[in-house]
């Protein structure tokens, strides 16, 4: 289990100060009610995953850092997520799929286990491989 190293409330305040935007502006950019943002800053609530994503994106910080479970504050950029992708034709590699599923932590607040990640990873790879085989078979018939 990952140990929290700082509170969501404290890190949200830091990120908001660093971004030099108001609570109202954060609300406008994220679509989150300003009162809810105020409640986050008072420590009344912690953001659920969908809101956490929006906050982290607008504040340009890592979601794990914002939750207090990571020391890496800098947000990863989407192009880094699929660094092995063939940029010319959009092909993803096995490494891309592994990277994506290894990064999953939870779904609607429920933790995703390593076994579940492995199952999803293998299911996707099997599905894509079967699609490729079907396409090859159809191309040979032509």
d(CA 62, CA 126): 31
d(CA 135, CA 137): 5
Task: Tell me the backbone φ, ψ of residue 2, rounded to 5 degrees.
Answer: -80, 135
- Please tell me the predicted confidence (pLDDT) of residue 133: 86
- Please tell me the predicted confidence (pLDDT) of residue 82: 47
Compute, in degrees rounded to 10, the torsion defined by CA atoms 122, 57, 106, 12.
Answer: 150
Evaluate if pTM is beyond 0.75: no
Write out pLDDT tens, residues 35-72: 999 999 999 999 988 898 889 888 989 888 888 877 77
68 in Cβ contact with 8 (< 8 Å): yes
**Fold exhibited by the domain 8-67:** 434 Repressor (Amino-terminal Domain) (1.10.260)
Write out pLDDT tens, residues 21-42: 999 999 999 999 999 999 999 9
């Amino acid at each position: 289990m990952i140990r929290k190293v700082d509170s969501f409330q404290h890190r949200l305040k830091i990120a908001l100060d660093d971004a030099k935007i108001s609570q109202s502006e954060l609300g406008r950019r994220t679509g989150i009610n300003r009162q809810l943002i105020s409640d986050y800053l008072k420590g009344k609530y912690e953001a659920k995953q969908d809101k956490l994503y929006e906050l982290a994106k607008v504040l340009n910080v890592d979601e794990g850092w914002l939750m207090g479970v990571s020391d890496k504050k800098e947000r990863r950029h989407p192009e880094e997520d699929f660094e092995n992708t063939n940029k010319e034709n959009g092909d993803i590699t096995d490494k891309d799929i592994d990277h994506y599923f290894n990064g999953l932590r939870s779904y609607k607040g429920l933790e995703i286990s390593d076994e579940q990640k492995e199952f999803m990873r293998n299911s996707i790879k099997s599905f894509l491989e079967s699609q490729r085989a079907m396409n090859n078979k159809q191309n040979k018939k032509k």
